[in-house]
Structure 1
Amino acid sequence: MTLRYANLILLILFPVAWFAPLLRAGFLPIFGLSEISIISGLQSLWISDVTLALLVTFLAIFAPYMKVIGVALVQFKLLHRKTLPALEFLGKLAMADIFLISLYVVIFRDDGYVKVETGWGLYLFTICVIASLSISHLTRRL
């Protein structure tokens, strides 16, 4: 029963993570740091690179949310348990987003021209993805 509630809480936490600041980035020390969220990053991507925007939209928004909804349907016996491996795969796709953001932070940490700091949204998004993976794994085992 607690797994159901934990999974349903993710339906609230994922949208919060999408709007929360993932990174604070600034160009040169003179300019202030601007906060970048998943949504603000997607807005910029839709202007510059539609293909990459589609990929990131799927990885960061649709894959994890579809997975949480699918696991909830399994938990409430509205979807067959045989779909859990496919749902777990959707959750793993969201980890690709975290990897790319982390790589960006490492590359541009503080090279003199660009300063990048992690925001609390990166941690929230990471926790949501890991919690989602754990919940689906535990649901599959029970």
Structure 2
Amino acid sequence: MKVLRIANLLLLIAFPIAWFAPLLRAGLLPLFRLSEISVVSGLQSLWKTDMFLALLVTVLALLAPYLKTVGLALVQFDLLDRRVLPALRVLGKLAMADVFLLALYIVVVKGIGVGRVETGWGLYAFTGCVLASFAISFATESLEKRAA
């Protein structure tokens, strides 16, 4: 359980790094320099144009994974009842929805063929954080069930 606690606490550092890392590089035409887009820079642009979508992405990309990680840490340190684990699982699924939306965006833009899109290391970092969070919560739930 100690390893799971440490891994989960490391996610509290890894998620913010992934939010500022370049998710993708995009440009209108192949001849021009590509602009790097991160979760945070994308949110900044969205807040200017579509506040509802910006709020939705903020919940999916920032709040859901971070609240899940904090909640799981509280459960792991016996500061929160383990009955909240199903709710934490829902938060994790919301975070994965954000990764799916990013992948869908990349496929659509590449399919249109107007611009150029390249994935950045931040997409893999963010996806890795979400998947690690899934694995940690699954292992924590399994250990909790065995202990009960």
Summarize deviations over 1:3-48 as a string: whole Å, max 9, x none: 0000000000000000000000001122110100000000000000
Which runs of 5 or more residues in structure 1 are unaligned? none
Kindly tell me the number of residue pairs found equivalent between the two proteins: 142
Aligned match of 1:138? 139
**Shift of the alpha carbon at 1:108?**
1.3
1:4-19 matches, within 5 Å, as: 4-19=5-20
- 2:69 counterpart letter in structure 1: V
Q: Please report the TM-score for the alignment, with normalisation by the length of structure 2.
A: 0.93
Percent identity between the two aligned chains:
65
1:57 and 1:129 map into 2 onto residues whose CA distance is 15
1:51-130 matches, within 5 Å, as: 51-109=52-110, 111-130=112-131
Which runs of 5 or more residues in structure 2 are unaligned? 144-148
* Contact 1:60/1:97, CA 8 A, preserved across alignment: yes
- 2:9 counterpart letter in structure 1: L
1:43 and 1:126 map into 2 onto residues whose CA distance is 21
Aligned match of 1:37? 38
Q: Please report the TM-score for the alignment, with normalisation by the length of structure 1.
A: 0.97
**Shift of the alpha carbon at 1:124?**
0.4
**Shift of the alpha carbon at 1:111?**
4.4
